[in-house]
Amino acid sequence: MTMLPQETIRRKRNGEHLASAEIADFVRGLSDGSISEGQVAAFAMAIWFSGMSREETVALTLAMRDSGETLDWSAIKRPIADKHSTGGVGDNVSLMLAPIVAACGLAVPMISGRGLGHTGGTLDKLESIPGYDIQPSASVFRRTVDEIGCAVIGQTANLAPADKRLYAIRDVTATVDSVPLITASILSKKLAAGLQSLVLDVKLGNGSFMSDAREAEILARSLVDVANGAGVRTSALLTDMNEPLADAAGNALEIDNCLAFLRGEKKGTRLETVVLAFAAEMLVAGGVAGDAEQGEAQARKVLGSGAALERFGKMVHALGGPADFIERSVAYLGRAPVILPVEAEQSGYLAACETRELGMAVIALGGGRSHPDDRIDHRVGFDALKPLGTRVAKGDLIAFVHAADQQAAEAARRRLLALYTIDEVEPETRSPILAKIT
């Protein structure tokens, strides 16, 4: 028997356990519009206050997954795998990771998103490439994954449509930061993509949405528990976001950084540590590598041979980009009219960075959106960012600003200088991989 939506809301408000069928009924009404916006908002607020058990969160995730199309990759003989990040600054890991693991034998149908708040979006970065289609037809998406091994695209309207409506209401009712709702939102889309394994990058630090270590671990454990409960082999890594991950922040600049990485030019960086850790995790989860050491060795091999770079170029072309993008990327990506050096105003060690504000500085340059309909200038941002712990003398280069005009460049230069702390004491270095959740 279908329960009245107000009864489901009342029971959850009172902290009662909801049955799977009851949750499925509510999500059906959410999808077909028979449940009002006010009722959806009340349901979200009841969850925010009362929480959900693992079983309830699994039921909510599966009901949202089943609200639309689910992809079937049974015709593809390689393991189907993906990775998801909770978002950061200079976090272009997906761009390199997908072609690396594809070159090692996985199939990666990666459904990515746009920038959210201060964080950069994978889709915005890919749209720096002329012709790249983030919304290809189903046949092109399937063929690209089958023939090349990876395709990074945007969410289609038919994947988890219940999440789209629920998220829009959460966004304006102060219920975004609920662990069960975050979990169901992320995983419903990933599970609809037909995955066999998933690796999660949960960011922690002043450039992430989670600055509290306990909260980040709670979210990571919820995601891992629920995804495994839904039948997808899943693990998570907690990674540091107290400074930009790549040495670039901005759309075209991060694509350029990706190509440099795939050419082997970013060895020994924090970015390399994170990319190789996730590659190893994905290859083990997909059954292609026996352990993390073997997985990392396989990833290094396809990087060294150029196979991963070649795979990236083929993916770009298959999704509408130029066939010679790898060879002529500078011509295709373009350059900002003004490129200004940012020089240290005193000597010492780069000791701290206000990473969230650095992301906001990219938006202020035009590299992100203040309103949903804003047009992005893909050329702007920062590059050659020095990592924390670097010893600088007064006048040494910290970064370059890429801007649309001189006034914007000068403002960004002053802003960036204010975001870094230079200290006489060398800061402690720590691994960007903070913990693993299985």
Query: Which residue, chain included where needed, has tokens 């960004």?
Result: 412
Answer whether 388's CB lies under 8 Å from 90's CB: no
Closest CA to 301 of 131, 104, 53, 87: 104
Written as one string, the DSSP assignment of 121-144 is -HHHHHTTSTT--SS--HHHHHHH
Report residue 192 as tokens.
């609809």
On the 0-12 / 13-18 / 19+ scale of CB atoms within 10 A, 300 is: middle
List Cβ neighbours of 280 (8 Å cut-off, separation of 6 or more).
289, 292, 293, 294, 295, 296, 299
Distance CA 249, CA 119 (A): 10
- Catalytic positions, written as ranges: 82-85, 122, 170, 185, 189-190
CA distances from 128 to 40, 119, 131 (A): 37, 16, 9
Q: Which residue, among 294, 301, 236, has the nearest Cα to 264 in the 3D structure?
A: 301
Cβ contact 77:104 at 8 Å: no
Instruction: Give the span between the Cα atoms of 256 and 329, in whole angstroms.
Output: 8
Q: Are 279 and 296 in contact (CB under 8 A)?
A: yes
